[in-house]
Structure 1
Amino acid sequence: MLHRSVAVELEVTKELSKLLCSVESAYLNIVREVAAYAVEHNVTSAIQLRGLFYSKYRGEYPGLHSHLVIQAIRQASEIAKSFMERKRKGLAQKPYPEVRNVSIRFDETAWNYEQFIKSIAPVRIKLSLPNGQTEVWLRLHKRFWRYWWLVLNKEAGLRKTLIVKRRANKWYAVFVFEIKPKEGIPQSVVSFDINENTVAVGKIDLTSTVGMVASWNRQYLTPQLYTIKTDFGRLARRYGRVRNAIIEKLKPEFALPNGKYVNVTNTREFRKRVKHLRERGRKLGRVRQIANELTRTPAIIITEELGDNPQESMIEDVGKDELRHRIKQTPFKSIEEAVEDKALERGSRLVRVSSYRNSRVCPIHFTRLERTDDWHTLKCPLGHYVDRDYASVMNMDWKTTPEAWIKAFWWNMKSLNKNMNWRKYEGKSNPLIPYEIVQYIHAVLKTFVARLERCPAMLAQGDPMNHHRIQNEGGGEETSHALLGQGGGQ
């Protein structure tokens, strides 16, 4: 089930704003006190905390709705659990959680959920405040009506908990919609490979590949290969220079008598200046752009298995601090999660394959590629040049074909015969199957049909996302389409 949150501004008067501020202040005090107690006494169960504090706060805040007290205690329990988990990992710097602001949670008994969900065009809500049931009008917009239309068509549902929060002296109501994933007929096969400054994409149109068009026009069998420019590496270098300039400017203000300096990055002045750089917002915008581009139509989307923390495995053998920083700042997992989330919403399906040998094998002849003077351009032993990014996305497509066909080309699979020394065939064509059979299967694979009912063939070897792919990424975005057909014959 997909979740989408929609924030709608509330039309509040000065008196209503003061009333909401009083509720927020009481709610915040409850969360702070209960969270500090839970961490100090190692009590994180919401039921136990409710038994300890519910009567106290009901007497201390008699005008506050009883379910708001319960929601505040539950929220404090969640904060305490999160803080203790971070503390175990060594990420917490203070002995207690610091709660600066909260969002007020109204459950179904604290606002008119039943009446709201039955309305065709809801324009107002009723909140249980200290002065009783208070009616508040909503400033609805296009995004809200989009998801409300899905609710009316039984394609989505509205959660019973309403979140009310204050931002820049404005009050917002946050509605959470639960959307059913779409089931669409795939129209294409899209594979993508994430690099430092680009995302390489390979697209195969299924309707033209398996239809009658391919029988008389062979150009439709050629995959579409292109890149999406992201510049995550350049963005990291730019903001790195800006942050270093801010540190050098603030250093004289934090000099110690012994000639050393305080860690400027932990100071309030540094955080105040850095928060205006908008680095996170720019990254998020580019991640969403990539996800939207790859999921425009229902498709089978193929990517590499990244693992839990791909950056750590990629910087193991990297010595340069700047390169390590750029790799750490590239949002590999964020792109994958955004594509997967958007794919479910639009009727696509994401398939993950192994990263083993994707960028080191020729997708035409299945031989090991040789290095050239250009980092992104490799040479096939049979005489033509291949762009390593486009070779990677094409080899991902081959890995989704039925397993029996892949065995004809991937000669280093230990699962075929554990007693055979497959390493001696490194860099060679498959000697186990006659070349005529390989040619025939290759011709058949040109018109393959991706099958969702079969699990994709996975190669278990190799670490997720080898770091060599982005060591020299600076010139990759200028590379246009892959030179798959240059030079020698097939």
Structure 2
Amino acid sequence: MLRRAVAVELEVTKELNKLLCSVEAAYLSIVREVAVYAVMNNVTSANKLHRLFYYRCRSEYPSLNSQLIIQAIRQSSEIAKSFVERRRKGLARKPYPEVKAVSIRFTEFTWSYEQFIRSTAPVRLELSLLGVRRVVWLRPHKRFWQYWWRVLSGEAELASTLMIKRRANKWYAIFIFKLKPKKEEPESIVAFDINENTVAVGRIDIKTTVDKVAKWNRQYLTPQLYTIKTDFGRLARRYERVRNTIIERLKPHFTLPDGKYVNVTNTREYRKRVKRLRERGRKVGRVRQIANELTKTPAIIITEELGSNPQESMIEDVGRSKLRHRIKQTPFKKLEKAIEGKALERGSKIFRVSSYRNSRVCPIHFTRLESTNDWHILYCPKGHYVHRDHASVMNMAWKLTPEAWTKGVWWNMKNLNKNMNWRKHEGKSNTIIPYFMAKILHTTLKEFKASEESPAMLARGKPMNPTGEANEGGGEGDLARVSS
């Protein structure tokens, strides 16, 4: 099941705003206290924390709903586990977690879940706040109605847990929709390759391909090859210059008596200025745009197997620090995850193939490409030039072909042996397929080609139904006799 969160603004009066603020303060106080205790005493189990803190919190906040106290303790357990994991990896700077903001979790017992899901057009809900049940009106928008229509049509479900969160002095209700993956017939085959500033795409439209084959006047099919400009590398360079400018401006304020400077990046003033930058928001916007572009129609989507941390393997042989920084800032996994989620939502299927030598082999002749003065353009020994990114996406599509064809043209490269000596195999035949069989196939493909003199099928042939266009009167039997 896919999950999508939709935030809807609440219409809040002054009295309701004070009530929500009181609930938020009590809820946040419980989360902070329990999270700090869990980390300090190494008790991260939600059940143990519930036994330790539930009755104390009930006596301290008697007007707060018991279900809200239970959810606060569970949320504290999740925060403690996350903090312990980050501290184990060396990413935590402080000995205990600091919870600055929190989302109030309402279970199905603390808000009108049953009444909400039975409504055709829900515009209000009821919340249990400090011993009273309050009606709160919503301000639904287009995205909410889109997912609600899926709920009404049976394509999605609404989760029973509702989250209420305050942001910029406005209150929002966050609904969680569980979407059922669609099952659609693929309309195209899409292969994409992620680079520093572009995403190379190779698209083959299945319906168009069938139409072109029916015209029988094309011997080869050329896929649609194009690139989507992302500028992740240029974005990283730009914000690097911005951060360096901020550091230079703050340096005079953090000078030590011996003339040296404090590490400005650890100061509060630096973090306060950097958090206003929109680098993360811009990346997320571009990632979603690319995911939407590649999954517009149901398709078979092919990409490389990146692994858990692709940036580390890419920067192993890179010496320049700036290039290493740009590679680290490119969101490979985030883009792949976004495309995978959109693919499941829209009825596409994603497949991963090996990344071994995708951009170093000619996708037409399956020979090793040679370098040129341009890093993006490579030369094929058969006498033509190939763009590195286009070769990569085409070779990904080749690797999705049946196993026998893969063995025939990839010289046992399916073993993914990265230490394979390429020159050792050059000029040798494939031991899996006999030589005489390969010779017969080569001669057949070379000599017997469709042309205007001998087309693949009759250019002006009559329909193959012997009874004309009629379907009655024994046409099926005659057709079977002719076919045999």
Normalised-by-shorter TM-score class: 0.7 to 0.9
Q: Which residue number corresponds to residue 242 of structure 1?
A: 242
Deviation (angstroms), 1:221: 1.7
Q: Which residue number corresponds to residue 464 of structure 2?
A: none
Q: Which residue number corresponds to residue 261 of structure 1?
A: 261
Higher relative contact order (CA 8 A, sep 6+): 1
Q: Which residue number corresponds to residue 187 of structure 1?
A: 187
The answer to whether the 8 A contact 1:213-1:220 is kept is: no
Q: Which residue number corresponds to residue 198 of structure 1?
A: 198
**Residues 332/192 of structure 1: CA separation in 2 closer, same or farther (3 Å cut):** same
Deviation (angstroms), 1:423: 4.7
Counterpart code for 1:76: S
The answer to whether the 8 A contact 2:4-2:177 is kept is: yes
Q: Which residue number corresponds to residue 334 of structure 1?
A: 334
Cα distance in 2 for residues equivalent to 1:111 and 1:415? 56
1:292-331 aligned within 5 A: 292-331=292-331
Cα distance in 1 for residues equivalent to 2:49 and 2:427? 66
**Residues 84/333 of structure 1: CA separation in 2 closer, same or farther (3 Å cut):** same
The answer to whether the 8 A contact 1:214-1:220 is kept is: no
The answer to whether the 8 A contact 1:189-1:206 is kept is: yes
**Residues 175/138 of structure 1: CA separation in 2 closer, same or farther (3 Å cut):** same
Cα distance in 2 for residues equivalent to 1:20 and 1:80? 25
Cα distance in 2 for residues equivalent to 1:106 and 1:154? 24
Q: Secondary structure at the match of 2:35?
A: helix
Whether 2:421 is the aligned partner of 1:437: answer no
Q: Which residue number corresponds to residue 379 of structure 2?
A: 379
**Residues 21/414 of structure 1: CA separation in 2 closer, same or farther (3 Å cut):** closer
Q: Secondary structure at the match of 2:409?
A: coil
Cα distance in 2 for residues equivalent to 1:380 and 1:357? 14
Q: Which residue number corresponds to residue 358 of structure 1?
A: 358
Deviation (angstroms), 1:431: 5.5
Give CA deviations for 1:117-165 in whole Å, capped at 9, x if unaligned.
1111111100001151000000111111111111111110000000000
Counterpart code for 1:437: L
Cα distance in 2 for residues equivalent to 1:225 and 1:317? 29
Deviation (angstroms), 1:209: 2.2
**Residues 168/372 of structure 1: CA separation in 2 closer, same or farther (3 Å cut):** same
**Residues 438/158 of structure 1: CA separation in 2 closer, same or farther (3 Å cut):** farther
Counterpart code for 2:189: V
Deviation (angstroms), 1:208: 2.6
Q: Which residue number corresponds to residue 482 of structure 2?
A: none
The answer to whether the 8 A contact 2:191-2:302 is kept is: yes
Cα distance in 2 for residues equivalent to 1:63 and 1:441? 82
Cα distance in 1 for residues equivalent to 2:320 and 2:423? 34
TM-score (norm 1): 0.87
Structure 1: gaps (5+ residues): 447-490
Q: Which residue number corresponds to residue 140 of structure 1?
A: 140
Structure 2: gaps (5+ residues): 451-484
Give CA deviations for 1:259-296 in whole Å, capped at 9, x if unaligned.
21111111111112112220111111111111011001
The answer to whether the 8 A contact 1:368-1:427 is kept is: no
Cα distance in 2 for residues equivalent to 1:190 and 1:443? 32
Cα distance in 1 for residues equivalent to 2:414 and 2:109? 60
Q: Which residue number corresponds to residue 81 of structure 2?
A: 81
**Residues 423/229 of structure 1: CA separation in 2 closer, same or farther (3 Å cut):** closer
Cα distance in 2 for residues equivalent to 1:365 and 1:204? 19
Q: Secondary structure at the match of 2:7?
A: strand
Cα distance in 2 for residues equivalent to 1:123 and 1:359? 54
**Residues 439/279 of structure 1: CA separation in 2 closer, same or farther (3 Å cut):** farther
Cα distance in 2 for residues equivalent to 1:406 and 1:79? 48
Q: Which residue number corresponds to residue 31 of structure 2?
A: 31
Q: Which residue number corresponds to residue 65 of structure 2?
A: 65
Deviation (angstroms), 1:422: 7.4
Q: Secondary structure at the match of 1:355?
A: coil
Deviation (angstroms), 1:437: 1.8
Counterpart code for 1:327: I
Q: Which residue number corresponds to residue 208 of structure 2?
A: 208
The answer to whether the 8 A contact 1:411-1:422 is kept is: no
Deviation (angstroms), 1:210: 3.7
Cα distance in 2 for residues equivalent to 1:199 and 1:256? 47
Cα distance in 2 for residues equivalent to 1:440 and 1:247? 69
Whether 2:106 is the aligned partner of 1:106: answer yes
Q: Secondary structure at the match of 2:303?
A: strand
Counterpart code for 2:225: L
**Residues 210/435 of structure 1: CA separation in 2 closer, same or farther (3 Å cut):** farther
Q: Which residue number corresponds to residue 123 of structure 1?
A: 123
1:154-165 aligned within 5 A: 154-165=154-165
Q: Which residue number corresponds to residue 284 of structure 2?
A: 284
Cα distance in 1 for residues equivalent to 2:157 and 2:405? 44
Counterpart code for 2:385: Y
Cα distance in 2 for residues equivalent to 1:441 and 1:110? 71
Counterpart code for 2:140: L
Cα distance in 2 for residues equivalent to 1:278 and 1:443? 60
The answer to whether the 8 A contact 1:360-1:388 is kept is: yes
Deviation (angstroms), 1:66: 0.3
Give CA deviations for 1:225-275 in whole Å, capped at 9, x if unaligned.
000001111111111011101100100101111221111111111112112
Cα distance in 2 for residues equivalent to 1:217 and 1:138? 60
Cα distance in 1 for residues equivalent to 2:175 and 2:253? 46
Cα distance in 1 for residues equivalent to 2:226 and 2:444? 28
Q: Which residue number corresponds to residue 393 of structure 1?
A: 393
Deviation (angstroms), 1:373: 0.6
Q: Which residue number corresponds to residue 477 of structure 1?
A: none
**Residues 430/273 of structure 1: CA separation in 2 closer, same or farther (3 Å cut):** farther
Give CA deviations for 1:360-419 in whole Å, capped at 9, x if unaligned.
000000000001111010001111110011000000000000010111111143769x9x
Q: Which residue number corresponds to residue 90 of structure 2?
A: 90
Counterpart code for 2:294: L
Deviation (angstroms), 1:426: 3.8
Q: Which residue number corresponds to residue 223 of structure 1?
A: 223
Cα distance in 1 for residues equivalent to 2:116 and 2:443? 64
Question: What's the Cα RMSD here?
Answer: 2.1
The answer to whether the 8 A contact 2:408-2:430 is kept is: no
Q: Secondary structure at the match of 1:341?
A: helix
The answer to whether the 8 A contact 1:208-1:214 is kept is: no
Q: Secondary structure at the match of 1:17?
A: helix
The answer to whether the 8 A contact 1:164-1:171 is kept is: yes
1:449-488 aligned within 5 A: none
